[in-house]
Structures are given as C-alpha cells and as structure tokens.
C-alpha cells in the first residue's frame, strides 16, 4: 500500500539520522538535500534509502562523517582533491565550490577527487555549477558490477555522465545517465521490493546472458549501454575520474552494499564559464531556441510529445512536491528501524 512523505519532512528526518550518527550539521544538511533531490525527481534509487548504506559504512568506520577533505594541489584551473573518506555529498559540495571559483577566475575549473564516497545523484552537482552560471559536468566511477562488451566478468562500474547548463531550472537541459542501460540501484531496488521481473535489456545473469529475472540480475551483471559504445563511455569516465585523480581502480574499489573495505571512488567536476564565450542572456536565448526545436519535433508513432533530458524529472518533481514522495512498506520499515537504532523520532507520514 505504501505512504507518502513531504519533501521537507523527509529532509529533516535525513538530517536527524546523520547528526545522530556524528555528522556535523552543515554536512548533514548537504547529504539530506542531495538524497531528497533524487526522490523528488523520481530517481528513488538515488534517494533517501541510500542513507541506510551510508549509516552502515559510518558504523564500520568506512565513512568518516566529520571529514571534509582538502585540496592536494591547485595549479591554474586544475585542482586535485583528497576526499579523505568523508561523506560523498559533503566533499562534493566543496569540490563544486572550488570548480566554480576556478571557472570564474580562469574560464574553466577542473577538480578531480579521490578517496571519495557515493555522492548521490550526479545531477545535483552539475546543477550546483550551472546555478553559478557555468556549464556543469560531473562524473564518477563506481563499484565493479559491469562486464565489458563481449565479456561476462565485471571490470568497471555504472560510471554515470552528467551535464547541466545555466538557465531556469524548470526549463533547461539536465542530462544524468549511467553508461549502463539503467543505474544499478534500479535493479537493487527491484530486488529489495521483491519484484519478480525487470525489463529486458537491463541486466545479464552470471554467464552474461540477458535476463528479466530480478534475482538473476541482482546476482549477475548490469548491461552496458549500447553494447561496445557503453563500454567506451564507461572507460572514458574511468580515465577522467580514477586514473586522473590517482584513485582506486577496478577491484581496488569497495561497494556501498558491503563493508569489507572503503568505497574509495573518484569524482570529476568541470565548470565552464559561458560568459567567456558570450553574454549569459545570449547563451540562455540560444538554449531556449535549441530546446524548442527539439520539443516541437513531430512525435513518432506511439508517442504524444518529444522531451529533452530533464523534462520527465521536472514533471515528477512538481507532482511530488504537491502530493508527497511515495514509499513502499519495505522502505518505510527499514527507515523506521534506522530511526529506532539511533534514538530519533520516526519519519512523519501522510496517506498515499
């Protein structure tokens, strides 16, 4: 049946959980805002439920909730940052601030971060740079759960690609996509919610055969996006993150769902100041023209409209801000148990 939760109540709950686990208030606010952003946009795989894994890593000493990280080197428009195993959203906020500062000074700002943790939805970080008047690009590598094209052995992660542009949030371009057919968390969420099947093309079993069986997919491999093209894009992200940052690669990376070792992923943030190319209002006008041309394209058979990256999520955010964010009974029970364990008030619910 499930229940709905208002975004504000969900964010307060997330902050309370994090503070009870020893997170400084400013970091707790950033992490909770990042996760609720995922829920609001309908990307529940990157929403508040991830906090349960963060808390488990904090308990095992794999995430250091008070660690803020620090720049290791800064030369011109480039910064290499040590995230020092802090909360991913806390250190990513610092990296975005550095990238924005460098872009305002040099026209571009590039920050790579190593020894980092899961940073939630990449769109949140690309948008932070876009809000400063910059094209924002954010990448990260991930746990090895994806096999290269023509292989059945996992060698790299879902390695998402994200880009946002300056302009009105509700009428802009915001691309956030895994280099796999879907984000791995969508398969994990289906498994946790006891859904028997997933769509064809999402995953492969342990032998590299396509499967729609959720359990086989959970125990198997996430399918690369577009075959060999997805593998190429994933390796591009791997180079710009772990290789360039001097971070962990391949089997050196941990996993958010187990506690044998730190996650230790790497991040990449690129901010480009559009005002070095043209006035900001001219750039926004050109973007409006481009997006209008795409959205007014004639729909193909079976479709009513043409959308651009970010449109579905904006619509979902409007709906969820009004009606609340829906949660399954399974997720609500898990959040209830986390609150009890940390001695905080339970999540405030509304009837779905």
Give CA–CA dist 91/272, Å, rounded: 20
Q: What is the pLDDT of residue 222?
A: 87
Give CA–CA dist 211/3, Å, rounded: 31
Mean pLDDT of 200-222: 91
Residue of 82, 86, 73, 115 lying closest to 22 (CA atoms): 86
Residue of 42, 136, 14 lying closest to 327 (CA atoms): 42
pLDDT tens digits, residue range 219-273? Answer: 998 888 888 999 999 999 999 999 999 999 988 999 998 899 999 999 999 999 9
Q: What is the pLDDT of residue 352?
A: 44
* pLDDT classification of 351: cutoffs 50, 70, 90: low
Give CA–CA dist 185/172, Å, rounded: 26
Contact 219, 192 (CB under 8 A): no
* pLDDT classification of 116: cutoffs 50, 70, 90: very high
Q: What is the pLDDT of residue 86?
A: 98
Give strand ranges (E) for the chain: 3-5, 70-75, 78-82, 108-116, 134-140, 161-164, 174-177, 203-204, 210-211, 221-222, 265-273, 325-327, 350-351
* pLDDT classification of 42: cutoffs 50, 70, 90: very high
User: What is the β-pairing status of strands 78-82 and 70-75?
Assistant: antiparallel
Q: What b-and-e string marks burial along 58-91, b requiring 16 or more CB atoms within 10 Å of the CB?
A: beeebbbbebbbeeeeeeebebbbbbbbbbbbbb
Compare 181 and 30 and report the one with higher pLDDT.
30
Mean pLDDT of 103-117: 98
Residue 88 makes CB contacts below 8 A (sequence gap 6+) with 31, 116, 117, 118, 119, 120, 265, 267
Residue of 123, 121, 95, 120 lying closest to 109 (CA atoms): 95
Q: What is the pLDDT of residue 280?
A: 96
Mean pLDDT of 140-148: 93
* pLDDT classification of 188: cutoffs 50, 70, 90: confident
Degrees to nearest 5, angle at CA 121 with 146 and 123:
110
CATH topology of domain 3-180+224-280+311-351: Ribosomal Protein S8; Chain: A, domain 1 (3.30.1370)
Contact 148, 156 (CB under 8 A): yes
Q: What is the pLDDT of residue 185?
A: 76
What percent of the chain shows pLDDT beyond 70?
99
Give CA–CA dist 206/203, Å, rounded: 10
Q: What is the pLDDT of residue 237?
A: 98
Residue 163 has which token pair? Answer: 């880009």
Question: Where do the domains of the chain lie?
Answer: 3-180+224-280+311-351
Residue 95 makes CB contacts below 8 A (sequence gap 6+) with 79, 81, 83, 111, 113, 125, 267, 269
Give CA–CA dist 197/244, Å, rounded: 38
The length of the chain is: 352
Torsion from C-alpha of 128, 190, 194, 345, nearest 10 degrees: 0
pLDDT tens digits, residue range 68-108? Answer: 999 999 999 999 999 999 999 999 999 999 999 999 999 99
Predicted model pTM? 0.93
Burial class, 142, CB count within 10 angstroms (exposed 0-12 / middle 13-18 / buried 19+): buried
Specify whether the backbone of 309 is left (phi greater than 0), alpha (psi in -120 to 50) or beta.
beta
Residue of 349, 312, 301 lying closest to 328 (CA atoms): 349
Q: What is the pLDDT of residue 224?
A: 87
The pLDDT mean for the chain works out to: 95
Q: What is the pLDDT of residue 139?
A: 98
* pLDDT classification of 1: cutoffs 50, 70, 90: low
Lowest pLDDT segment from 61-75, 172-186, 286-300:
172-186
């Amino acid at each position: 049946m499930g229940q709905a939760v208002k975004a504000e109540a969900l964010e307060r709950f997330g902050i309370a959980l994090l503070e009870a686990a020893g997170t400084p208030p400013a970091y707790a606010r950033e992490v909770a805002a990042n996760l609720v952003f995922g829920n609001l946009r309908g990307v529940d795989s990157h929403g508040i439920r991830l906090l349960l894994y963060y808390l488990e890593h904090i308990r095992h000493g794999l995430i250091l909730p008070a660690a803020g990280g620090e720049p290791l080197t800064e030369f011109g428009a480039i910064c290499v940052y040590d995230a020092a195993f802090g909360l991913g959203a806390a250190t990513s906020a610092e990296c975005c601030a550095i990238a924005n500062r460098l872009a305002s000074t040099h026209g571009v700002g590039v920050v790579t971060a190593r020894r980092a943790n899961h940073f939630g939805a990449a769109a949140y970080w690309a948008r932070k740079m876009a809000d400063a008047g910059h094209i924002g690009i954010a990448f990260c590598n991930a746990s090895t759960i994806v096999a290269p094209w023509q292989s059945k052995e996992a060698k790299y992660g879902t390695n998402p690609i994200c880009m946002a542009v300056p302009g009105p949030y509700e009428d802009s371009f915001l691309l956030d996509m895994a280099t796999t057919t879907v984000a791995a968390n969508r398969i994990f969420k289906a498994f946790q919610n006891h859904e028997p099947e997933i769509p064809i093309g999402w995953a492969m079993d342990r032998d590299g055969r396509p499967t729609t069986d959720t359990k086989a997919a959970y125990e198997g491999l996430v399918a690369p996006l577009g075959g060999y093209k997805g593998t190429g894009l994933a390796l591009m992200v791997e180079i710009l993150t772990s290789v360039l940052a001097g971070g962990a690669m391949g089997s050196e990376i941990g996993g958010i769902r187990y506690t044998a070792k730190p996650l230790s992923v790497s991040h990449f943030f690129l901010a480009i100041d559009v005002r070095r190319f043209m006035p900001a209002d001219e750039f926004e006008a050109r973007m409006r023209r481009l997006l209008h041309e795409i959205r007014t394209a004639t729909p193909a058979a079976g479709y009513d409209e043409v959308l651009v990256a970010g449109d579905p999520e904006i619509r979902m955010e409007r709906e969820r801000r009004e009606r609340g964010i829906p949660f399954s009974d399974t997720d609500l029970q898990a959040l209830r148990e986390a609150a009890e364990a940390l001695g905080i008030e339970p999540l405030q619910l509304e009837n779905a």
